[in-house]
A = this chain, B = another copy of it.
Amino acid sequence: MKAEFINPFLSSLVEVLKTMAQIDLEPGEPDKKTEDIASGDVSGVIGMVGPQIKGSLAITVEKSLALHIYSNMLGESIEEIDTQVKDMIGEITNMVCGGAKRILGENGYEFELATPTIISGQGHEIHHKVSGPKLIMPFISNFGKAYIEICFDK
């Protein structure tokens, strides 16, 4: 998996949270995903399909960060991950992949996005069934952590 393909997703997440929620994310060290257990409390999962690309992406967010994003984006605070928070995580997943799709399209990678599915529940596990590598990238903020998982068929 080439950095030129992965990086647009990472920069897009940083950009989306900065512009939409005024939250700064600090990228950590990328790693191979070996454990299924999600590192956060709510996850947006989206499928991607194109001539050269077939895969899935998950954005997993800790509850404290998810609630902060909601509060900053919508101007009202909330205590629990409810339907509105899930829809917001789905929308962020859409925006991040949409931003990456635009950049990648300019570089000759064409793909379409499916609709996002939002997973929640304490200790939920996400297992991507792909033939290629599974990458996980952590991000740190003042309000909690977020992770992007990107997985593709070879």
Binding site for B on A (CB under 8 A): 36-37, 45-49, 54-56, 58, 83, 86-87, 90-91, 94, 112-130, 151-153
Question: Which of A46, A86, A117 has the most chain B CB within a 10 Å cutoff?
Answer: A117
A115 near B153 with CB under 8 A, answer yes
Q: Do A114 and B55 form a contact, CB below 8 Å, given A47-B47, A121-B121, A124-B120? A: yes
Residue of B nearest to A37 (CB): B121
Q: Evaluate contact between A49 and B114: CB separation under 8 angstroms.
A: yes
- Are A49 and B130 in contact (CB-based, < 8 A)? no
Report Cα–Cα, A119/B127, bound state, in Å: 6
For A86, the closest partner residue in chain B by CB is B127
Residues on B with beta carbons closer than 8 Å to the beta carbon of A116: 56, 129
**Separation of A102 and B117 alpha carbons in the complex (Å):** 24
With the chains together, A36 CA to B42 CA distance in Å?
Answer: 13
Contact B36 A47 (CB under 8 A): no
Separation of A118 and B152 alpha carbons in the complex (Å): 14
Are B121 and A124 closer than 8 Å at their CB atoms? yes
B124 touches A118 (CB 8 A): no
Chain B residues positioned under 8 Å from A58 (CB to CB): 117
